[in-house]
Amino acid sequence: MKRQYWLLKSEPTTFSIDDLLNAPSQRTGWDGVRNYQARNMMRDEMNVGDFAFFYHSNTQTPAIVGLVEIVKAAYPDPTQFDIHSDYYDPKATSEHPRWFQVDVQFKEKFNTIISLERMKTIPALSEMPLVRKGNRLSVMPVTTFEFTTIMDLV
């Protein structure tokens, strides 16, 4: 199957690339996604073997900071059932889970981070939802062209 590319946003104060670097097996469940469009992409389109950029949002310098690989396809996000979790969803049941996550594996932490500011100046990246004002999607597709363009900047 042809490898697809994605971008995953995370607030570094919640979960950073270093948290992933230091995680057991450098692997984690990408939990907490609570947006239907983002969920649908994870659940319906992401495949094991796909690559995703790790993006730090809501921070001083928003930027792509690394690369991860999807190592487990979508399954119910356990935090939706955890009453003590910030991500608890009272309307979700194990019979009818509402939210899904994938597992990601650390691949690379970039020596050069690719800031949002820089990406906005690159014409080849102008179609990315990321660089458009007001975009809030936390999971978004990246084209092969955009992927190689960004990897050439690293």
Footprint of DNA (CB under 7 A): 9, 11, 34-37, 57-59, 62, 116-117, 120, 132-138
d(C-alpha 9, C-alpha 128), whole Å: 14
Question: Can you spell out the DSSP letters for 82-98?
Answer: -TTSTT--TT--SSS--
CB-wise, 3 or 136, nearer to DNA? 136
Shortest CB 134 distance to DNA, Å? 2
Shortest CB 108 distance to DNA, Å? 21
CB-wise, 2 or 133, nearer to DNA? 133
Best CA proximity match to 98, nearest among 42, 29, 50, 57:
42
Shortest CB 87 distance to DNA, Å? 9
> Residue type for 132, please?
R
